[in-house]
Each structure stands twice: as structure tokens, then as C-alpha cells.
Amino acid sequence: MNPDNKILNEQTGKHITDVTESAMLPTSFGIFKIMAFKDDQNKEHAAVYMGDITSDEPVLSRIHSECLTGDTMFSLKCDCGFQLETAMKQIAKEGRGVLLYVRQEGRGIGLFNKIKAYHLQDKGLDTVDANLQLGLPADARHYEICAEMFNYLGVKAIKLMTNNPLKVDEMKKYKINVVERVAIEVGRNKYNEGYLDTKEDRMGHILMQGHHKKQED
């Protein structure tokens, strides 16, 4: 336990229990800085950022929930890996931005349950029904920690890269100034289009390349 926790909590909010110093993180896309955070569930999250993110100019931002299969195994079953890559490229292109990498695998149900849900999806269930059949919520993610991370980093306003209006609402709920939602629609393929359609139909995602768009054309 960090003895400065009390002070840290006063600076950041109630869930962050420890924070590292920042370190350089050179990547294929550019040179970022990285900082790690611990929360009160003992989960470790990361902020990867570039440029002066503390000025009044809104910061291009992404809240990325961990997806082991998408982020590290190049899975085509979802769009997570594509979104991670695009977000980092966009931040590098602007020379300024923040990516919060949040450890809530499988929309918060964990890897074990996600793979169980994949098994049910192989049998024809969609991503929502598979979770429900396992007795799990369709989306168990929480975003308060993200607001605390933005605050700790000194970010004053954000342009949030997401197709999920819920994330915008959540950030606003925790008093983060979201000035714009930036669509991040990448990686649609034959293995994930059903999943993306479900996110559009049943989870409120806004997808311009989705099946509704195709029907209108």
C-alpha cells in the first residue's frame, strides 16, 4: 500500500490506489509516454499518451477495454485490435492524445467467461444472448476509473474516439468534458459483421457501415 494513498485519492477520486511515474514507450506508430494505475480491485490499467494533454485544447482520446484475443492475437471476431491500432495511429498523427487501456476483458466478464461465450456463439447465439445464457450481463464494464485517470493526467476536455454513446454518457456522468464523439469504425470483416450488427441493434452502437446503412443504400 502506498503511504500517500490518502493524498492520491484526494487528487484522483476514490478508485485509484496507486500511480507510477511516466516512462517512454516507443511504438511502431510513434513515441508515447506510459503511466500505470492500480485500482481498488487491484487491477492494473495504463494510460498511453503523447504531447501536451493538459492544455485547454480538447484531447483526442480513446477508452480501450482490454481484449486479449483482439489486441494481441489479431482476432477477426471483434473489432478491438483494429480500434486499438487506429486510435494509436490517430493520436500519433495529431501528435497529441491519450489512450486509456482498461483491464476489463470481455466487456468486463473476463477471459474465461468470454471464451465460454465464444463457444456458445459458435453454436449460433449472438454476443448478448451468449452472455445472458451464462448468467452474465451483456456489458459489465465500468468507467469511473477512466474519469479518475483523465483527471489525474490533467486532461480538461476530450474528443472521444468511440462508436458507443454509452461511453460518452458515462464520461459526462463523471464530469469529464466530452466536446465531441469521433467515430472509429474499422476492421469490419466476415467474421465480425454479425457481432457488429448485434452491437448496433442491441447495445446502442452507432455504425455508419452497419447493416442498416446497407439496407438504405
Q: State the catalytic residues.
A: 139, 141
Residue selected from 46, 78, 102, 171 as contacting Zn ion according to rule CB under 5 A: 78
What DSSP element (H or E) covers 59? strand 59-65
**For Zn ion, which stretch binds (CB under 5 A), given 27-35, 51-59, 75-83, 181-189?**
75-83
Q: Which of 63, 67, 100, 130 binds Zn ion (CB under 5 A)?
A: 67
Nearest CA among 168, 179, 114, 113 for reference residue 146? 168
Number of helices followed by number of strands (H, E) in the chain: 9, 8
Query: Does position 80 bind Zn ion by CB under 5 A?
Result: yes
Q: Which is nearer to Zn ion, 67 or 128 (CB)?
A: 67
The kind and range of the H/E element at 146 are helix 144-153
Handedness of CA 189, 158, 61, 131 (dihedral sign): negative
Cβ at position 62, least distance to Zn ion in Å: 14
Q: Which is nearer to Zn ion, 118 or 152 (CB)?
A: 118
| 59 near Zn ion (CB under 5 A) | no
- In angstroms, rounded to a whole number, what is the distance separating the alpha carbons of residues 199 and 126? 10
Q: Which stretch binds Zn ion (CB under 5 A): 24-32, 55-63, 74-82, 207-215?
A: 74-82
How many chain residues bind Zn ion (CB under 5 A)? 4
Q: How far is CA 90 from CA 46, 85, 144, 148, 214, in A?
A: 18, 9, 24, 23, 27
Find the part of the chain contacting Zn ion (CB under 5 A) among 79-87, 114-122, 146-154, 185-193.
Answer: 79-87
For binding to Zn ion (CB under 5 A), which residues are involved? 67, 70, 78, 80
